Amino acid sequence: MSCQVRLVTTDGDERVVTAEAGQSVVEAAKQADIILPSLCGKGTCGTCVAQVTAGEYTLRPFEDDALGSSAPEGSALMCCAEPTSDLDVVLPFDSSRLIEQAPAEREAVITSIERLTAHIVKLTMTLVEDEVTGSAAEFEAGQYMQLRVPGRADLRAYSMSNVSNWDGTLEFLIHIREGGLFSTYLDQQAREGDVLELVGPQGTFGLEENGMRPRWFIGGGCGLAPLLSMLRRMAEWGDPQETRLVLGVNTAADLFGADEIGELVDQMPELSVTVAVWHPDGDVTAQDERFEYVEGSAVDVLRNGLGSIDDEEQVPDIYVCGPPGMVTALEEVTTTAGVAPERVHTERISAN
């Protein structure tokens, strides 16, 4: 039995796709050349969350944290939702973010593999020039690429930490996870000069036009990557908003990217940086005088920061990227503080 799925964007644009029995909404849309955001494809990251306003469906297994606590009633993960009747689905973005062609497939050469901490690697690649797309790396700050594991069909998604450029350079911050498919390759086999296949760019996590409202960016682990890309884009364009970056780390030794963040502080007079150290080893002291170091979590920093605002015009747009549990906890804080949902932009990191 096939079902009709009506996809509606926030600006009222509509698309109708057909879902065959056993197909998820993401799979049905892809079959119709409509690419919905789906970072992990297995119900762990929450990138594909949308609101079902009419119809019935069954769900494949998914992680509770992936859905998020602030999702509207009727929300579900589109990579896990299999329609059993016609569906109406409201997508959480406007039609400009709707991709109606398959993302480009490219090749890129590994130019450096740099170990930043015991578990974090900075992977730098250069796109191979082709006749269709040339050599430039064109993407929106906050987007991701899917990297194919050599010798396999499997793809793993990682956000870029740099910005678009004519040189074809792509930078990724990757957490080496024990047993992870791409992690194992990167940790044990990858070498400079290796050529990898990439699919993208993809994703709708990115800067929203907000006038002069403040912007707060909150990250944990490799969630720094898309936030760093967005901040670099703001620096490049000279965006004047009051801006705050909050990084949550387990110990002070887990902080990475300090040099890059410090460069942004030097370029952006309105940028302040707070490092929240969850398990300090002794006193929490500033390792870089340009940053504020505090004991506690990024959740604590956000809660205290929002609690100190008494002017509605100073309520920021908030961008969050990190592990699912952290993102859910931060969403709960913004909900409790009464921050309008449209001002909170999140992306969850899935295990790779």
- 105-202 and 215-348 in the same fold: no
Residues 79-90 as b/e (b if ≥16 CB within 10 A, e otherwise) read bbbbbeeebbbb
DSSP summary character for residue 62 = -
The confidence score (pLDDT) of residue 351 equals: 61
Architecture in CATH for domain 3-97: Roll (3.10)
Give CA–CA dist 315/329, Å, rounded.
19
pLDDT digits (tens, 9 = 90+) for 138-168: 999 999 999 998 888 888 889 999 999 999 9
Spell out the residues 6+ positions from residue 318 whose beta carbon is closer than 8 angstroms to its own.
Answer: 215, 216, 217, 218, 302, 330, 334, 339, 343, 344, 345
Annotated domain spans of the chain: 3-97, 105-202, 215-348
pLDDT digits (tens, 9 = 90+) for 193-219: 999 999 989 888 899 887 889 999 999
Give CA–CA dist 175/349, Å, rounded.
10
Spell out the residues 6+ positions from residue 323 whose beta carbon is closer than 8 angstroms to its own.
Answer: 220, 221, 223, 348, 349
Give CA–CA dist 19/77, Å, rounded.
15
DSSP 3-state of 329: helix
Q: Would you say residue 283 has pLDDT above 70?
A: no
Q: Are 53 and 91 in contact (CB under 8 A)?
A: no
Give CA–CA dist 146/96, Å, rounded.
21
Number of other CB atoms surrounding residue 200 within 10 Å: 21
Q: How many residues does the chain have?
A: 352
pLDDT digits (tens, 9 = 90+) for 106-147: 999 999 999 998 889 999 999 999 887 788 999 999 999 999
- Phi, then psi, of 111 in degrees rounded to 5: -105, -25
More confident residue, 329 or 44: 329
Q: Are 225 and 161 in contact (CB under 8 A)?
A: yes
User: What share of the chain in percent tops pLDDT 90?
Assistant: 48
pLDDT digits (tens, 9 = 90+) for 249-267: 988 778 888 899 999 999 9
pLDDT digits (tens, 9 = 90+) for 223-257: 999 999 999 999 999 999 999 999 999 887 788 88
Number of other CB atoms surrounding residue 34 within 10 Å: 18
Architecture in CATH for domain 215-348: 3-Layer(aba) Sandwich (3.40)
CATH class of 105-202: mainly beta
DSSP summary character for residue 206 = S
